[in-house]
Structure 1
């Protein structure tokens, strides 16, 4: 039987919401065990599922929610069929595509299990089944005399030991992330399924309709959905990909509701949100706004223009880099949206006022005022080092160089006992490293990587010399000499690249491969940066948790809810279907419809809709998927749920816990919610399950999948 255990510490007691005037905002990405504290609020908005059931990882619906390691998904059949976003499966679609057989533009549907395609060597499904508070065990042995680096390495060693203990059964992957910026640590055990296959993805004319033009925009008409299937060995346990594997028998799955939602209906959203920064200090916000984000935007824009020029007119190259471009574009638009949000609302000034109130409360309720001075100092050191780390990332932006550096580091770490290796280079990580090295086969071309690295070195040479890691300039190739590196290196060959996995450090020192030589040459500088990061992080891990405990106590004194920042762990949020007003005089409704697709269709990318979809709209073949109030099929809808990156593919559940939609985006005005949740304009964007089912039936004829799922249709 699955278990879930929690050691309720004093810190968690500080999270109690009893008697708090919770919200009128649907803010909060809640750990499942916190949901019973929200019982009254969930009932108020209309959720019928008992909060205690939602908190139990061994019961439906939480047993149906899975992570894809960067996206979320949910099981929708007892045979391991999982639904997620189209953009979450985009890599799998791209890896199986060629210029002649282009599943990106044509779509893909396996009519039988035998036709399902490998999602990729690095594709995984993670099913969380156990969470336990291990804060005391992580902190055991820490002394005040430790330097920041010593403290950080001690915590790393404790975490590695806890993971090793948890992973005695190799079917599981364990992690020990921190919550509240290091105040608490939870050990999370997940079954890790290693054989994931692509089942169905509509054409990108549906799954990515509107492209980057519509990204983060509303109204939206994107059918951002696809299906994957989990496979295991015949014994029911995770196994390496094999033709002999069988579909995973999911413990639970979600019933799909074609009954639909309407304005004002309550929803729950469950998934694995990436990162938020709701508890950052004003100085950290200004650093992101004025320094870090503008630098990232410029770097993304330059990289995209280089890739576009290097792949222009070459259909095969464009397919090969499609997933890379999509990923960079998404990061770019989100960062641009964050900057626009910072310009629209002075979040730093809002934080200034909150910080002043907190410091006044702190002075009245704490005798030790040195903490806040130390806090400001460690934050300043963190920001300074972050600028150097960004310069390093620009100077090393080459897929072949990254591969060489990874391989050399693995060789060095492999000479140590496994428990002493750097996390990420232990034996448990070798399969992931191998998968990443394999993945280049589908997303790398020497001439494109060469162009990217040449341009990156040129950008690096234009950065302020004071922000560059000391001594790095003398070690780097000149932009003019890069062509020779690619001409002479054999790392572009997959078999030869993988062969380095089994070589020791001496082989790297003797190699005449220019990228191997460069990796060896850069290693000490990289390690120096890493050691400095450990010192800074260790000091942050000593000071920030004390600050966070004080913040929790302060908010508790005001009766305000407290939840940890998102950190890629399982979370539940709630809200209602709702319109919004982005600015004065403009109101945007919560639903879009298929008629909007026909209106947007221009015949030119990114607004090209498939002919058979347009025909179905013109003939109004809506059937049971027609919304009575709208008089047509809804495509996407808005809710007030609190989401962020990583929530892509998250199940949107109706009040009874049935699947009503999939989260896939946020409105442009909402992007700054990673830093500040503004209930008036924060809206998440979801694909309506009725549109998904309608496309499957009327456009792509995925009847085999419709039969496999348990669908609750509207009463006739």
Structure 2
């Protein structure tokens, strides 16, 4: 039993479909391509229709998307198995310093003892369709790379709106399976009542901590159980005692016999993405700018939060989910940097590109059509390199400085017409940002981001960074900004929404 359970957990922890026969032949494939693969020849003992059948019931009906994770139904009463780290946020929200489920684990011995997984939804695939032709047709009408990117985004938005208007009971999403190449439309049924059933103690679910994270083999009990509920009539509903367990079309059974060496294994899950086909310039940008910058910023923030949590157990519990997310990315990026340097991947990619250019030049027809492709790609990346860390500095400001986000919401609200529904949604976002504000930490984060940015040569071309004062004056300016702003006050914020754009005089908006 233990052996087969570990295999099920591997299935749940991968966001792709891969096939691994006795001599590994790995790859990531959208389900639309599954019939083009020789899975039976590789060792699959069930039919393709049993794996994915859009006209019937198949294994795909047992899969769920839980937040950003994959889960699987393992009973006919809505029980779902997923990773421990996928339930981490819900367990943290349900915990208190007196009743710390995160550290001690949680077990509901009956359905009545199950507790809400706050903020979690469960999405089940209703149908699945390759929309690459529609997306790329729109993209191919663009005049340049920027226009192409905008055209893809606009078409994806159009497809999602079209599907959700046609059927109000579903949620639509277009996933970019291969960047700029393959796009798949998913239609989901969304269940809003998800409850915690079992979560192991942190010492088991996170055994090895970040030292073992992204390292294999791992020896950790990275699993948990939740349950999906619906209204008595089967429709999606918010948490209610009247709700009943969802009955899936299909659920997965654990094989008590486990597996043997060289058994065929395939993995099903919700889509990730691959960067294998990206050019050398993409990897060079990652290695030079994105990976080192983000990993260093995240490490600094982790240290800041952990230092604050040493003497404040309540804060340590509240911030634990954020620390886990930061640490997961920091370790991933740090490992990628080491791997890129060890493998000399940039030079290897450049060698491949030289071979590709030679292949194109060898054929007159290919040369006429594709002869300038690589040089055009290089020109695009010349522009990207010219602004260096600009995108990622703004990412940090927008993601981790709630003051900046609140100011942007005010400007966004005053810049366009807003319906009652949009205003309601906007105020919900505002409330979340205001409640997630740490006045003794956020000013330090903003100061760190801006202070670092002033030292990056490529950012001196932008006045928002070149015009910043020196380090000491910047520090004083930022702390005055937080002292004087009214954006964190719910009543004041809503009152500002009623003012004209010209009358907005909050220092954070002016900043």
Q: TM-score, normalised by structure 1?
A: 0.61
Q: Give the whole-Å Cα distance in 2 for the aligned partners of 1:450 and 1:241.
A: 37
**1:164 equivalent in alignment to 2:175:** no
What CA deviation, in whole Å up to 9, does each residue of 1:369-390 have, x standing for no partner? 1223212212332344452112
1:481 maps to what in 2?
Answer: 477
Deviates more, 1:166-175 or 1:198-207: 166-175
Q: Is the 8 A contact 1:35 1:52 kept in 2?
A: no
1:545 maps to what in 2?
Answer: none
Q: SS of the residue aligned with 2:296?
A: helix
Quote the offset at 1:334 in angstroms.
0.7
Go from structure 1 to structure 2 and tell me whether the alpha carbon gap of 1:143 and 1:107 turns closer, same or farther (over 3 Å shift).
closer
1:87 maps to what in 2?
Answer: 85
Deviates more, 1:50-59 or 1:373-382: 50-59
Moved over 6 A (4+): none
2:222 maps to what in 1?
Answer: 224
Q: Is the 8 A contact 2:138 2:152 kept in 1?
A: no
Q: Is the 8 A contact 1:446 1:492 kept in 2?
A: no
Q: Is the 8 A contact 2:178 2:273 kept in 1?
A: no
Quote the offset at 1:310 in angstroms.
2.5
1:310 maps to what in 2?
Answer: 308
> Of 449, 468, 489, which aligns to 2:442?
449
Q: SS of the residue aligned with 2:86?
A: coil
**1:289 equivalent in alignment to 2:287:** yes
> Of 390, 393, 408, which aligns to 2:392?
390
2:348 maps to what in 1?
Answer: 350
Go from structure 1 to structure 2 and tell me whether the alpha carbon gap of 1:332 and 1:66 turns closer, same or farther (over 3 Å shift).
same
Structure 1 gap segments, 5+ residues each: 1-21, 419-425, 523-716
1:162-201 aligned at under 5 Å gives the runs: 162-168=159-165, 169-201=167-199
Go from structure 1 to structure 2 and tell me whether the alpha carbon gap of 1:389 and 1:143 turns closer, same or farther (over 3 Å shift).
closer
Q: Give the whole-Å Cα distance in 2 for the aligned partners of 1:173 and 1:301.
A: 36
Q: Is the 8 A contact 1:135 1:184 kept in 2?
A: yes
Q: Whose helix fraction is larger, Structure 1's or Structure 2's?
A: 2
Go from structure 1 to structure 2 and tell me whether the alpha carbon gap of 1:511 and 1:197 turns closer, same or farther (over 3 Å shift).
farther
1:31 maps to what in 2?
Answer: 30
Q: Is the 8 A contact 1:455 1:479 kept in 2?
A: no
2:12 maps to what in 1?
Answer: none
Q: SS of the residue aligned with 1:447?
A: coil
Go from structure 1 to structure 2 and tell me whether the alpha carbon gap of 1:136 and 1:37 turns closer, same or farther (over 3 Å shift).
closer
Quote the offset at 1:290 in angstroms.
2.9
What CA deviation, in whole Å up to 9, does each residue of 1:625-649 have, x standing for no partner? xxxxxxxxxxxxxxxxxxxxxxxxx
**1:370 equivalent in alignment to 2:365:** no
1:470 maps to what in 2?
Answer: 463
Quote the offset at 1:108 in angstroms.
1.0
Q: SS of the residue aligned with 1:483?
A: helix
Q: Is the 8 A contact 1:98 1:316 kept in 2?
A: yes
> Of 121, 124, 131, which aligns to 1:124?
121
Q: Is the 8 A contact 1:396 1:453 kept in 2?
A: no
Q: SS of the residue aligned with 1:74?
A: strand
Q: SS of the residue aligned with 1:265?
A: coil
1:312-711 aligned at under 5 Å gives the runs: 312-365=310-363, 366=366, 367-368=368-369, 369-385=371-387, 387-396=389-398, 398-405=400-407, 407-408=409-410, 411-412=413-414, 415=417, 434=428, 437-438=431-432, 441=435, 444-464=437-457, 466=459, 469-474=462-467, 478-489=474-485, 492=488, 500=494, 504=497, 506=499, 510=503, 514=506, 517-518=507-508, 520-521=509-510
Quote the offset at 1:434 in angstroms.
3.3
Q: SS of the residue aligned with 1:259?
A: coil
Q: SS of the residue aligned with 2:241?
A: coil
Go from structure 1 to structure 2 and tell me whether the alpha carbon gap of 1:223 and 1:167 turns closer, same or farther (over 3 Å shift).
same
Q: Is the 8 A contact 2:135 2:152 kept in 1?
A: yes
Of the two structures, which has the highest relative contact order with CA contacts closer than 8 Å and spacing of 6 or more? 1
Q: TM-score, normalised by structure 2?
A: 0.84
Deviates more, 1:48-57 or 1:162-171: 48-57
Go from structure 1 to structure 2 and tell me whether the alpha carbon gap of 1:54 and 1:433 turns closer, same or farther (over 3 Å shift).
farther
Q: Is the 8 A contact 1:54 1:62 kept in 2?
A: yes
Q: Give the whole-Å Cα distance in 1 for the aligned partners of 2:456 and 2:250.
A: 53
What CA deviation, in whole Å up to 9, does each residue of 1:637-678 have, x standing for no partner? xxxxxxxxxxxxxxxxxxxxxxxxxxxxxxxxxxxxxxxxxx
What CA deviation, in whole Å up to 9, does each residue of 1:300-358 have, x standing for no partner? 22121222222221111111110111111111111111111122212223222322222
2:257 maps to what in 1?
Answer: 259
> Of 24, 35, 52, which aligns to 1:55?
52
What CA deviation, in whole Å up to 9, does each residue of 1:600-632 have, x standing for no partner? xxxxxxxxxxxxxxxxxxxxxxxxxxxxxxxxx
Q: CA RMSD in A?
A: 3.2
Q: Give the whole-Å Cα distance in 2 for the aligned partners of 1:145 and 1:397.
A: 30
Quote the offset at 1:105 in angstroms.
0.8
1:652 maps to what in 2?
Answer: none
Aligned pair count reads 482
Q: SS of the residue aligned with 1:87?
A: helix
Structure 2 gap segments, 5+ residues each: 1-20
